[in-house]
A and B are shown apart, each in its own frame.
Chain A
Amino acid sequence: MRYRSQSVAYGYFAVAMVLFGLQLVFGLLSAAKYLGPDSLLYILPFDVTKVVHTNLLIVWVLTGFMGATYWMVPDESRTELHSVKIAYIQLILWTLMGVSAVVGYLFRYGTGNKLLEQPLPHKIVIVICMLLFLYNVGMTIWKSRRFTTTEGVLVLGLGLAALLYLPALLEYENYTVSIFYRWWTIHLWVEGVWEMIQGGFLAYLLIRLSGADREVMEKWLYVIVGLVLIAGILGTAHHYYWVGVPAYWLPIGGIFSALEPLALIGMAIYAYSAMRRSGLAHPNTLALHWTIGSTVFTLFGAGLLGLAHTFPDVNKWTHGTLITAMHGHAAFYGAYAMIVLAMITFALPTMTPGRSERGSSIGYWAFWMQLGGMFGMTLSFATAGIAQVYLERILGMGYLDVQLKIQVHFLMLLATASLFSVGVGLFIFDFFRYAPRFDVGNEKQPTLRPDTVRPAPIS
């Protein structure tokens, strides 16, 4: 840690960890309900556990983004944060918002609009938090007079994410129109500006972890951002096919969704070749695992499994089945959960002394168990989804009868989800195992600077 104010990141990371753990509790509950019968039918029905599961995901990932940004921006701009106080006020406000939203959901207090269930007062607090955050980060960069491309991409991504949340504050009379603008927030977040955020963190991590040249890394970051947005913006069309829009959205969705994996292939090659060419310049190999892992899992979950069902002629059969759950779990985990875990793993050793810089063996167990578990969950959803599409959509069997026939996949889902949860539990345990101590300069920085150390390539 080079700047004292970077320590605010720890608070954000700690909140993110707790919410991540809670998210899994509700995920496991939801999975158990697929097996049924549900003994909590009138206490905690599926719709409640599911809405809490998805909302906690969004809240903890955003908490992680904010913490990681507060960590990264001082490093990039070589300055203290504009205001530590604002950062903590924002964290408290944000956490209160998240927790009270979840408590509200338990009593069915929500808008009932998928993924945007936050009631209006909560939405307003979200906007206030985002403004505080962007102001704080913006002022930090402004005062430092040093603005790198890497943090530029990150901050632009965060700013656009806040902007794209605004359509979610409005009400629409026509349900089709309301779906249309719901995707401006959800799709343009996860397949647009959030990938800029991921790209920003990725470039930062690669520059720090490998000896890669900043100019080269930032050039390719631009290329990746360009590819992401050209495919991502028009790729929104793949959510529009069957909701009551003009027919031209079908070919547009088919073509531009097919381009989406290109950017993700680029991202994986980007990460891998940075390591191949420039070698390792930092001892934190666990953070390296999470960084490269994130790009590879994104390519698998978002790229490959997304492409598996975005083509209109395929999507007309798979739309609204467990195939979507397959893609959703792998994509979100690979792209956003893993990049946050990478940032946490990278930042943690300097905030919690006593920890090995290479990462503990518990940390490695956490990594591999999560990966194996999530891969298994993806396969469970995939096999269940394929059977569902064939029996329900093609042969025309009733929905409820098909769900009975795919129970074995739900058993598999529960088993692999448990494995995943143990992995997450280990990560959280490893996070809190060492008490934080915020000493400035305890990083042996000069020996780790890419321009001074250039070890042999790892291959």
Chain B
Amino acid sequence: MHPIDLAVVGAYVAAMLGVGIVVSRRIHGFRDYFVAAGRLTAPLLVCTLVSTYYGLDVLFGNSEVSYLEGVVGFFGYTRPYYIVILVAALVVARKLQGHGFLSLPDVAAHYYGRGTRVVVAIASAFYSLPLISVMGIGILLDVMAGVPFPVGVVVGAAVSVVYTLLGGLMADALTDTLQFVLMCITLGIAAALTLRELGGMEGLQAVLPATYFDPMGTYPAWVLVVFAGSALSALIEPAFYQRIFAAVSYRAVLVALLIGIALWAAYDWVATVLGMAAAARGLEVEPRYALLTVVVDVLPVGLTGLFVAGALAAAMSTIDSYLLIAGGNLAYDIYRPLFRPDMDDASTLRLTRWMIVVSAGACVVFALFFQSVVSAWIFMSTVLVASALVPLLFALYAPWQPRPAAGLASSLAGLGVAIAYYALVTVLGADDPEWGTRIWTVDVGGLTLSLWQDYAMLFALPASAIGYAVGHRAGRPAATDAGRGVESGTVPAEARAPEEETR
């Protein structure tokens, strides 16, 4: 990288840390730290939602698919998310905002009690490990500075931990605003320059096979079903819930999500086009490196640094948000209810910070395990969707009273089957270089089945639904305290929103 580019990147990192240090002085307790004391306004929500959801996972995951397959990266892989996010904004957010919850497991605890809370918290913590963004920093440092991938992963995680520990959600949201603008503008400029060089989309059409412009691509249908299924994670997205609970009002959530969907769609399409541009230029690179390689080739000095800062911004805005959630899940949703229900606010805050460090360590281990950004993302979505989607949707919309046994059986069955399936395919399957995943080929009565690693959700989600049905039939309604939920006192008194005290 040119010294000017390095200076731009250095200035960006310094600015982020500066904001974090200033805001960290306003942290007085767990609620300040974890949900910014419920002070997130609509513009702040737009910035933090868009930049948190869209880290390097989307940038590299989407371009990985489009580099190999074309526009299906947009139509098959990312488009289902907008539909699910719209449903989440119109239906789920309205139902949950203003209840005084602090996390997704808080919601599970309210309807099903402590057992389901812990299972959902484990899945949420695992889902929230920002391993794809950490992988993204590893890729970035590898391509830009020649740093070996494992070293880049460790450096990325270490820098992000320091940054996350500083200021909690408010610092996160404020820095997200700068990161949001940086990543959108640099990606837009990179796309414009790349298209100009390649003769626009018509130039791409002249070089790439016609299948690259088929919205369904050449993926097997089941893979597209899995892509759409992983979009269901938006209904139970821990970062989404955290921001609902941190918003000043439901209206702010709704406005932020509607604007966010337009920006997400634009971002996705631009990343898709850049992946295709890498294929059109005949670049022979690992698919996950495609976008970065083409952008570096096209951008001039100065703008390259700005793009790297934008890509770092995309990664850091995701890493800080999700490490915060993972740490909160481990400390507030698992340790506190299981081992120290009377833990005070200051101790919860301190333990959360320690758990953020633990989460970052786990993140590095997983980042070095997965080869494909898309495979890693689908696995994490599967774990969360399989354990939390069914119990949560039944709790919110079924006409009958939730039963603790139903929630616990559903979440355990989903989580167990998802992990068992991955373990089976990992042990008995083989790597498939064509699709960049692991496939277990099984002969059943003369019929050959190709079980992709990514199909886990097709088994885990029905298992979760069956678990719910069995638990509901076998269990009894919980004795609740005048509708206050199964596990009253879910939120520590000092952490609750002021208005909840008077409810």
The answer to whether A and B come from one shared complex is: no
Please list the residues of chain A having a beta carbon within 8 angstroms of any beta carbon in chain B: none
Please list the residues of chain B having a beta carbon within 8 angstroms of any beta carbon in chain A: none
